[in-house]
Amino acid sequence: MYKTLREEAYEANMQLPKLGLVLFTFGNVSAVDRDKAVFAIKPSGVPYESLRAQDIVIMDYDAQVVEGTLRPSSDTKTHALLYKTWDDIGGITHTHSTYAVAWAQAGRDIPIFGTTHADHTHQDIPCAPVLTDDMIRGDYEHETGNQILDCFKDKTLSHHEVEMVLLQNHGPFTWGQDAAKSVYNAAVLEEIARMAYLTLQINADTAVLKDTLRMKHFERKHGKDAYYGQGC
């Protein structure tokens, strides 16, 4: 019944080691089926080398298992809350990729310094603050989702315009129209994080990109008159 969805999630998960975004099992991708109101996610702690499509676990938006014998990713409740709240996203990726984690551990937004960044979003990549002790002691992974949602509300960011976030002391979450796009965004974020790191080492006083240029690059790729790509 969920074969196609499982395969979408499986294929997207297998991109993580190929793109150098995970060490061992430090990451997970999910894909959603909006008609059936379920999502498919990697099982917890299973190495990518031995992962099979049939191991993928099917969950509902309240993080209850719908189908599957393995325990789902320990981060499942975060995925569930994001799917429930942002009802138009199709896939979510979480990794511990090196440079994105470094910015998250440093507790800093990633400033927009160039067009590589602006091709994907016209905003700094936000770093949601570390959870409060009550949130950590409570329903931790669910509250992780809340922390991300609150960060977007507080900064009045659109999750269509910014498809990536850092969680302080933890690491990145990215999303997109489907699972593959969320993985693409995870790789883009890692590269943006690395470039911004190097930029500040060369010139600690680098100013952020000016508005005209950040909007030009974002709009030529994502605006109504976009002319990047093949329009399909």
**Binders of a second copy in range 84-103 (CB under 8 A):** 96, 98-99, 101-103
Q: Which is nearer to a second copy, 66 or 70 (CB)?
A: 70
Q: Which is nearer to a second copy, 1 or 106 (CB)?
A: 106
Report the amino acid identity of residue 206.
T
Q: Is 36 in the site for a second copy (CB under 8 A)?
A: no
Exposed e or buried b for every residue in 131-145, given b needs 16+ CB within 10 A?
beeeeeeeeebbbbb
Q: Which is nearer to a second copy, 86 or 140 (CB)?
A: 140
Distance CA 205, CA 220 (A): 28
With 0-12 / 13-18 / 19 or more C-beta atoms within 10 angstroms meaning exposed / middle / buried, residue 164 is: buried
- Positions annotated as catalytic residues are 119, 228
Tell which one of 51, 53, 65, 195 touches a second copy (CB under 8 A): 195
Q: Is 218 in the site for a second copy (CB under 8 A)?
A: no
Tell which one of 39, 113, 173, 218 touches a second copy (CB under 8 A): 113
In angstroms, the first-to-last Cα distance of the chain is 29
Distance CA 159, CA 165 (A): 10
The two tokens of residue 205 are 């006083």
**Nearest distance, CB of residue 191 and a second copy, angstroms:** 5
Tell which one of 116, 146, 157, 159 touches a second copy (CB under 8 A): 116
Distance CA 32, CA 40 (A): 6
Dihedral of alpha carbons 155, 110, 102, 159, sign: positive
Contact 135, 143 (CB under 8 A): yes
Q: Is 10 in the site for a second copy (CB under 8 A)?
A: no
Interacting stretch for a second copy, rule CB under 8 A, among 1-9, 79-87, 147-155, 214-222?
214-222
**Nearest distance, CB of residue 142 and a second copy, angstroms:** 13
Please state the φ and ψ torsions of residue 93, each to the nearest 5 degrees.
-125, 135
**Nearest distance, CB of residue 79 and a second copy, angstroms:** 15
Q: Is 170 in the site for a second copy (CB under 8 A)?
A: yes
The two tokens of residue 105 are 């551990």
What string marks each residue from 122 to 161 as x (binds a second copy by CB under 8 A) or -? Answer: --------xx-x--xx--x---------------------
Report the amino acid identity of residue 100.
A
Which stretch of DSSP H or E encloses residue 59? strand 57-60
Give the binding site for a second copy (CB under 8 A). 23-24, 26, 43-46, 70-71, 74, 96, 98-99, 101-108, 113-116, 130-131, 133, 136-137, 140, 169-171, 184, 187-188, 191, 194-203, 206, 209-210, 212-213, 216, 220-221, 227-231
